[in-house]
Amino acid sequence: MSELRARRVMADYVGLLVVLALLLALFGAFSEHFLTHVTLVTLANQIPALAVIAIGMTFVLVIGGIDLSVGSVLALGSALLGSALTAWGWPLIAAVPLALGVGLLAGAANGLVSVGWGIPSFIVTLGMLEIARGGAYLVTPTTLTVLRTDGTKTEYHITSMDIQGANIVVNWRGKNGKTTFSKFEKDRMEQLPARFDDGSKSKGRAFHRC
């Protein structure tokens, strides 16, 4: 019986590997940018954070619970870490405990409310998801920074973003209240090389900060 079970488990793993190989071949055939060094590096950079979340979620699922807030709490911690290092001028030794502490408080609050008050974890963590998402939004207001040809720099609030084909269209509102848009290439979002004109005489190039 144990040998038969072991074969079934092995067959499941082999089946998953076959499906993964087929998906890689499929996406690689339809996109010339998929099986590239940049894609592999990007995936490798995402593995550590996802692995930590997956390990924690495993314990939650084992006891029959669920946590919908993990992604938003991770975003909030990351937002606090980035803002503390860049905008607030905190040292790394202080910014890292801040981010970890926020995650610890969020998890403790979920557990205490769910267990202490007997509320289903689905409802509790759904509420924490919205709280963490709102907190991340407040910590990191999205702006459009314009570096003008005369050396000046101005920030504008982004009102919405939309994906159109190979480009990302950013709608933003300037000081004059005028709403316009800039178009950026998705593959070069770190540079955002877009022409910018807010109606003034000076033009420049737009960069974003999220």
With a cut of 70, say whether residue 177 has pLDDT above it. Answer: no
Nearest to 149 by CA among 200, 82, 184: 200
Q: What is the average per-residue pLDDT within 135-157?
A: 66
Q: Distance between the two ends of the chain, CA-based, in angstroms?
A: 55
Nearest to 119 by CA among 53, 70, 56, 66: 66
Q: Write the CB contacts of 178 (distance below 8 Å, at least 6 apart in sequence).
A: 198, 199
Query: 31-75 pLDDT, tens per residue?
Result: 888 888 888 888 888 888 889 888 989 998 998 889 999 999 999
